Amino acid sequence: MTPIGTLSAAVMLAIVAAAACAPAAGSASGPPPASAPASAASPTVALATLAPRPSVSASEAASAAPSGPCVEVADLADLGEPVVTAMAGIQPALDAGKVDDARTLAKTATKGLASMAELVGPASPAATQLFTTAATELAQAAAAFPGGSSLLKQARTDLDQAFATAETVRCSS
């Protein structure tokens, strides 16, 4: 992986992880948009609701609460860390002529990408599609190793975009 590709995915993962620790209720960007009906929530995606505080008016509380499923960024970060690590090791393995190692890393990352797609599914169909596309591109690249570098680069790009897209629907609590 190029240093820029590694940095980009690592920075995105760090942002997602930091967002998991930061309080979101006071965020200037407001609540995340609803992308799917509340009935689409799965056990891995929590419905974010904010209990109104006594000092907050009912209309303010209603406008502050997200109206649909959201992504638990701590869970996404936990799933994303091994994916980013595996993807970072693919190009060095190829450069060293270790095609089998590169394929093993790609398989690990592909499984992780599928788990990430499942996690964000109810909250962000767009992020789901990007994670799924990255997994498909990575599998296609692995089948072409030691070639397939353009697919590997595209998978990294899609992973970065998927992280950014999933961040827009993070849970606020």
Provide the pLDDT confidence category of residue 105 given band limits of 50, 70 and 90.
very high
As to burial, measured by CB atoms within 10 angstroms (0-12 exposed, 13-18 middle, 19+ buried), residue 50 is middle
Query: How far apart, in whole angstroms, are the C-alpha atoms of residue 152 and residue 162?
Result: 15
> What is the per-residue pLDDT across 120-138, written as a single tens digit (0 to 9) for each?
999 999 999 999 999 999 9
Domain with 74 in it: 1-9+69-173
Q: Is residue 40 part of a domain?
A: no
Mean pLDDT of 8-36: 45
Contact 75, 44 (CB under 8 A): yes
CATH of the domain at 151: 1.20.120
Residue 137 in contact with residue 151, Cβ under 8 Å?
Answer: yes
Q: Fill in the DSSP letter of residue 36.
A: S
What's residue 152's pLDDT?
97
pLDDT tens column, 37-61: 443 333 333 333 333 333 334 434 3
- Give the total number of structural domains in the chain: 1
Q: How far apart are CA 168 and CA 153, in angstroms?
A: 24
Decide if 116 is inside a domain.
Answer: yes
